[in-house]
Amino acid sequence: MSGHGEIITGPQRTPVLHKAVPMGVRVKVPPAYLKGRQNVWGTVVGVSFAHLVFGYIVFLDESFQAEHGEIRALTVIGSELEAEDGSNWRNDV
């Protein structure tokens, strides 16, 4: 059975190269994701891809215009996110 919206169950996946980022946490988006914009914040609302690293969907506090339209959310790799208190989810290697 393979319908749209089907929930796939199985073993819980976890990232390998960083710790799992909790849903609902406020994070700072790295400037490289937004052409050097500084102090862009948002909330983690989902996972966009899961592999050795996870890509997290970050809903931005403030949207902005880009050459291809309005940006309201984006995907950021978990190891590049930073919490409000300055902590992060990188593995201590």
Token reading at 57: 């969907």
> For residue 76, is it within any domain?
yes
Token look-up 């996946």 returns 13
> For residue 93, is it within any domain?
no
> For residue 56, is it within any domain?
yes
> For residue 68, is it within any domain?
yes
> For residue 11, is it within any domain?
no
Token look-up 């190891």 returns 79
The sheet with strand 54-66 has its strands ordered as 69-77, 54-66, 40-50, 26-29, 82-83
Structural domain boundaries, residue 64 = 26-83
Q: For each successive 10 residues of the chain (93 residues), what is the average pLDDT?
A: 48 78 95 88 94 92 91 94 94 75
Q: What pLDDT shows up at residue 12?
A: 65
> For residue 60, is it within any domain?
yes
Number of domains in the chain: 1
> For residue 65, is it within any domain?
yes
pTM: 0.81
Q: What pLDDT shows up at residue 8?
A: 47
